Chains A and B, each alone.
Chain A
Amino acid sequence: MRVTIRLFARLRELAGASELDRDVPDGSTALDVWNGLAEEFPPLAGYTKAISVAVNEEYARLTASVRDGDDIAFLPPVSGGSGAGERTK
C-alpha cells in the first residue's frame, strides 16, 4: 500500500523533503513507516524517541496501524508560542 509522509522543521531539513510517497507493507504501523524512513535517511534515527505522529490530520499513536492512502505526518518536539520551548517530558 502507498502512503504520503509529511515532515516538518528539522525532520524536513534532515530528509531534504517535506512530502514523500512511499510503499509500505500491509499491516504497517506508523512506527514501521518511521523506521523505514530512518533507514532511508539515517540522520532521522536520532529522533525516534522524540517524535509525534498525526494520521490524516489527527494526532495518533505510533503503534496505530496505517491504511492505504493515509497521510502520515511526523513531528519533531514542538516549540510554538513565544519564549523558549519548555520541556515537559
Chain B
Amino acid sequence: MDITAAPLDAAAVTAAVARASDGAIATFVGIVRNENAGRQVLWLDYEAYAPLAIRAFERIAEEAASHWPGARLAIHHRTGRVDIGEASVVIAAASPHRADAFAACRYAIERLKQIAPIWKHEHFAGGDVWIEGATADAADDTARAAALERACV
C-alpha cells in the first residue's frame, strides 16, 4: 500500500502481490482523462491524508479477503499534479482464480472512491474545481454493499 508523489509503476504493483499459489492477477490502472463534465481537463492535483488513506487501503484489502478468500490487494495512489494520460491509481488483485481476482479488483476501486481520504482538484481550461464525491463513512454498510454489487455484475 502506498501514497506517493512519484509516478506509479503498474508492473511493480502487480509484482508486489504475486505468489506461487496465484492463478491470476487483475491490475487496474486509473488514468487522468482530458475531459470531465464537458470541461477540457488540463491536469489533476491529488491531495491525500496519507496515514488514514493507507489504513483505508488496508481495510479494503481485509474486506476483499473476507469476500474472496485468498484474494490479496496492492493499492498505490499518486498525489500532487498528475497530467493527462498518467496513472493516478494502480490496484493489483491476486487470487488463485481469475473470477475472484477481477471481482476483488473492481471492489477495491469502488470502495476506494467511497472511503479513501483522497481529493482531486481539477484544473480545466478556464478555471479549477475541487471534485467532491462521497461523504466518507467506512462503517456505512449500504455503501459497502453497493461496492460489492458493482464488483459482482
Contacts and interface: CB of A to CB of B under 8 A. Distances in A.
Which label, helix, strand, loop or mixed, suits the secondary structure of the B interface? mixed
B153 to A, nearest CB: 15
Which label, helix, strand, loop or mixed, suits the secondary structure of the A interface? loop
Contacts, number: 125
A78 B37 contact: no
Contacts of A81: 30, 77, 88-89, 109, 112-113, 116, 118
Contacts of B143: 88-89
B125 interface: no
Contacts of A73: 49, 52, 117
Contact of B118 (A59, A79, A87): A79
Contacts of A86: 113, 133-134
A59 B134 contact: no
A87 B11 CA distance: 31
Contacts of B116: 78, 80-81
Interface of B: 30-33, 36-37, 46-49, 51-53, 55, 77, 88-89, 109, 112-121, 130-140, 142-143, 146
10 contacts: A10-B130, A57-B55, A77-B133, A78-B118, A79-B113, A81-B88, A81-B112, A82-B88, A88-B114, A88-B133
